[in-house]
Amino acid sequence: MLFPILILLINQASKMNAEDGVMEELATEKEAEESHRQDSVNLLTFILLLTLTILTIWLFKHRRVRFLHETGLAMIYGLLVGVILRYGIPATSYHNKTPPSCCLEEGPVSTLLLNVSGKFFEYTLKGEINSREIHNVEQNDMLRKVTFDPEVFFNILLPPIIFHAGYSLRKRHFFRNLGSIITYAFLGTAISCFVIGNLMYGVVKLMQFIGQLTNKFYYTDCLFFGAIVSATDPVTVLAIFNELHADVDLYALLFGESVMNDAVAIVLSSSIVAYQPAGASTHTFDATAFFKSVGVFLGIFSGSFAMGAVTGVVTFTKLHCFPLLETALFFLMSWSTFLLAEACGFTGVVAVLFCGITQAHYTYNNLSEESTKRTKQLFEVLHFLAENFIFSYMGLALFTFQNHIFSPIFIAGAFLAIFIGRAANIYPLSFLLNLGRRNKIRGNLQHMMMFAGLRGAMAFALAIRDTATYARQMTFTTTLLIVFFTVWVFGGGTTPMLSWLHIRALVDPHDGQVSKTKQESAWLFRLWYTFDHNYLKPMLTHSGPPLTTTLPSCCGPLARCFTSPQAYENHEQLRDDDSDLILNDGDLALTYDDTAITAKGTSSGGADAAGAGWGVNGKRSSTTSEEALEREMDQEFLSRSTRLIFPIEDHA
């Protein structure tokens, strides 16, 4: 939130500086000062808006109001301020006249020099303006000023939100449902994108047929629309799930899907844009261009993924004694991931997401206790401010954005299309997934996933990124309305919907009732966990068993070289460490039952003790590996049920 405000301030300040420093003899100084003051007032408006939102959220949380989430609230306040700015304040302009223009033969250049009686002034290109707007360039100053550069959302507000999502991902449930999440996120988003895109193309054709649409609206524009509205953001729903302790697997599926499909949607939309120039003149289907697009998609996605994962892994920190340095370093490394990806032509946001996930999995274990808290809190605040800022800006944008194109047919078509698109994603894929899942996704969960297809920050950011053409302006307006509707209506209806669908809390922390949630695709899950726990974790973190115990004895020297000295002293630590470790410990017992017997004895003893403390199932009888794993999982699930139920609070 802070950043765009500052940027606006600085953009303005830079203008002001240029004006009052270099040309103090000119009469622009007073105007610059006035403009600077006006800016401060505008920014103040945003800050007060956020303050108001926070105070109301507090009130709501206090009163346990659940029908309106903070993001929905932020939008309402944004709307109100937008109305005031639009209609309440007379257009203030310093001089209501058309700015002077000059002619040039060549195309527009990024830098232009102006020669005023021998003195040269440098001008930079701001963009093309419609000829109808020429007379309004300075008139709607006020509205223009509260309009941020779209790239602000992409490069400044989204990264902390996405990083936080990755960093606060509950690893266990995420990995247990990884197969389904990936299916929904990749295949599902692609299906949704193409279904919506094709339906909208039909709507566009219809509109052209009945003469409602005279401007250009290509097939790629429809696909682009499909891509951006396929990014779901069920922040409201998840917050309520959290509060009501709803089904953990459903939570994992929804959260995982929403996190991953943001990444898919962003890469998908840029692939579609990359596809455009190839068919520039025709905008029809072109197989070569299509496969090129698919190639671009795969290249960008895997590149960004690899970059994020690698940077996440290499952020080894050993600055234990200095939490401030550690926190600062952690923050800088996350940011450098974003920048590195952008510098290499990949997608920074995607890289940051996977960087967050890997950092939560590996680096987190290396941080000192103080730093784990600090980093969580720092990113939590950034995420909170960024998210609420985006949503309040959305409310504001409905009235202050100046190129809205409201087309009732298009909007109605879009609402229908996103409904069908979501259905074509959830139901068929759930059916297919259920064929392979031990723990089926039941019908009511499918309906809930269907219902939880809210659109949010990512859809907005993608839509506002480019509002140059008629098609994109219509896309932007429609996306904005979709976000409003889904956040308010679906978000507000979550609680009734949950009870209507009989989705109750599977585990209530108070009465200790347990459900037998079994992991899907057990072999894949176990294979990964074993590898991760025995080799990756010991190498990349200070936790886990020493490599010397997990590697065959022939690799002794290598193992000693890669094992951190702390790893040997870690048996103590395992007791109060992350829940994964206890789980993995069972895993360890399972594969290296003979070599790792001492480590297992110590630490699972600790886990047992914890379980016994809760008075349930504190005894081990059989050592059949699979059963042991299952039992340890359930046991840990039970003994830590309060922690497991609040996935966000767990990490945030």
Burial 185-217 (b: 16+ CB within 10 A, else e): bbebbbbbbbbbbbbbbebbeebeeeeebeeeb
Structure tokens at 529: 């966990």
Q: How far is CA 151 from CA 116, 158, 270, 596, in A?
A: 34, 10, 14, 52
Identity of the residue, 311 or 425, whose beta carbon is nearer to its own copies in the bound complex: 311
Site for its own copies in 120-139 (CB under 8 A): 120-131, 134, 137-138
How is residue 414 written in tokens? Answer: 């879009």
Comparison of 115 and 621: residue with beta carbon closer to its own copies: 115
Q: Which two tokens stand for residue 334?
A: 């996350």
CB nearer to its own copies: pick between 18 and 450: 18
Q: CA nearest 374: which of 416, 308, 317, 330? A: 330
Other CB atoms within 10 A of residue 48 CB: 12
- Residue 585 in 3-state DSSP? helix
d(CA 183, CA 428): 11
Read off the tokens for 40. Answer: 């401060």
**CA torsion, points 358, 360, 363, 369, in degrees to nearest 10?**
180
The one-letter amino acid at 139: Q
Q: Select from 14-22, 230-238, 300-308, 522-530 the region that touches its own copies (CB under 8 A).
A: 14-22
Q: For residue 349, which amino acid is it?
A: V
Rank residues 77 and 529 by Cβ distance to its own copies and give the closer one: 77
Of the candidate spans 106-114, 232-240, 353-361, 537-545, the one that interacts with its own copies by CB under 8 A turns out to be 106-114
Q: Could you tell me which stretch among 17-25, 172-180, 354-362, 447-455 binds its own copies (CB under 8 A)?
A: 17-25
* Nearer residue to its own copies within complex by CB, 222 or 633: 222
Find the shortest distance in angstroms from Cβ 123 to its own copies: 4
| 325 touching its own copies, by CB under 8 A | yes
CA atoms within 13 A on the CB side of 532: 19
Torsion, Cα 70 182 346 271, to 10 degrees, reads: -90
Write down the least CB distance from residue 637 to its own copies, Å: 27
User: Can residue 37 be called a binding residue for its own copies (CB under 8 A)?
Assistant: yes
Given 111, 214, 288, 553, the residue binding its own copies (CB under 8 A): 111
Q: Which residue number, 122 or 508, has a Cβ lying nearer to its own copies?
A: 122
Q: Is the CB of 25 or the CB of 511 nearer to its own copies? A: 25
Indicate whether 322 belongs to the interface with its own copies (CB under 8 A): yes
**Amino acid identity, position 424:** A
Q: How far apart are CA 34 and CA 32, in angstroms?
A: 5
Q: Which helix (H) or strand (E) holds 543?
A: none
End-to-end Cα spacing for the chain: 19
Binding residue for its own copies, selected from 278, 306, 329, 481, defined by CB under 8 A: 329
Give CA–CA dist 282/228, Å, rounded. 23
Note whether 151 binds its own copies by CB under 8 A. Answer: yes
What mask of x and - would describe binding to its own copies in positions 59 to 78, judged by CB under 8 A?
A: --xx----------------
Site for its own copies in 245-284 (CB under 8 A): 277
Residues 563-602 close enough to bind its own copies by CB under 8 A? none
- The piece of 10-18, 169-177, 246-254, 398-406 that touches its own copies (CB under 8 A) is 10-18
By CB under 8 A, tell whether 324 contacts its own copies: yes
Nearer to its own copies among residue 316 and residue 531 (C-beta)? 316
Measured from the CB of residue 382, what is the shortest distance to its own copies in angstroms?
9
Pick out residues in 372-391 that bind its own copies (CB under 8 A).
374, 377-378, 380-381, 384-385
For 301, residues 6+ apart whose C-beta sits below 8 A from its C-beta are 263, 264, 267, 347, 350
3-state secondary structure of 218: coil
467 is a contact residue toward its own copies (CB under 8 A):
yes
Q: Is 321 an interacting residue with respect to its own copies (CB under 8 A)?
A: yes
Binding residue for its own copies, selected from 89, 109, 314, 489, defined by CB under 8 A: 109
**Distance between CA 554 and CA 646 in Å, rounded?**
44
Q: Which is nearer to its own copies, 462 or 628 (CB)?
A: 462
